[in-house]
């Protein structure tokens, strides 16, 4: 069994109607990854898939995967419609937003609770909490985030839901 230091929460930074298959194809075909980006993916309706065994690392946060389990919800950004050169309506990803559905939140909590016995000492963090604290004030400011992922403050959220 590997040691788990972090349960890391993510968003896919895509439209809420993205399918898990689309995301898996993107990792494989566009990024050329042999392993997925997360262990769990949560659909907008709260259903989820465990897409990789937790005993094996995934590609959630570069340099921080050996001792992490990654959980992502589908969404986390505004999606705007635009028209491309050929006149086709396309989706354009806008700014980051916490658009988790109630069902997704309930599933996040359920998965984290399920993982607790397996990873009793793990810290629950957001992807962006791995960003370097550039001005060394001990607080990660929005302008220091490498990514906005998962589009909400995990620290205050876990406190608010009693995790």
* Of positions 4, 6, 10, 108, contacts Zn ion by CB under 5 A: 10
Does 100 interact with Zn ion (rule: CB under 5 A)? Answer: no
d(CA 43, CA 114): 18
Does 149 interact with Zn ion (rule: CB under 5 A)? Answer: yes
Closer by beta carbon to Zn ion, 37 or else 115: 37
Q: Residue 95 is encoded by which pair of tokens?
A: 């700014």
Judge contact between 52 and 35, C-beta under 8 A: yes
Buried b / exposed e over 25-38, threshold 16 CB at 10 Å, is: eebeeeeeeeebbb
Stretch that binds Zn ion, among 7-15, 16-24, 26-34, 113-121 (CB under 5 A): 7-15
Judge contact between 44 and 75, C-beta under 8 A: yes
Closer by beta carbon to Zn ion, 119 or else 128: 128
Closer by beta carbon to Zn ion, 10 or else 54: 10
Residues that bind Zn ion (CB under 5 A): 10, 127, 149
């Amino acid at each position: 069994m590997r040691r788990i230091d972090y349960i890391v929460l993510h968003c896919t930074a895509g439209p809420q109607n993205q399918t898990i298959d689309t995301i898996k194809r993107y990792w494989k075909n566009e990024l050329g990854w042999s392993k997925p980006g997360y262990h769990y993916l949560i659909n907008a309706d709260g259903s989820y898939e465990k897409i990789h065994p937790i005993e094996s690392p995934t590609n959630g946060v570069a340099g921080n995967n050996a001792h992490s389990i990654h959980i992502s919800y589908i969404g986390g950004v505004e999606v705007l419609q635009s028209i491309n050169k050929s006149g086709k309506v396309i989706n354009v990803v806008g700014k980051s937003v916490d658009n988790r559905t109630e069902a997704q939140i309930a599933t996040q909590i359920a998965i984290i609770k399920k993982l607790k016995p397996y990873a009793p000492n793990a810290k629950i963090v957001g992807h962006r909490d791995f960003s370097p604290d550039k001005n060394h004030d001990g607080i990660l400011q929005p302008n220091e985030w490498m990514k906005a992922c998962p589009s909400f403050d995990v620290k205050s959220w876990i406190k608010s839901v009693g995790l």
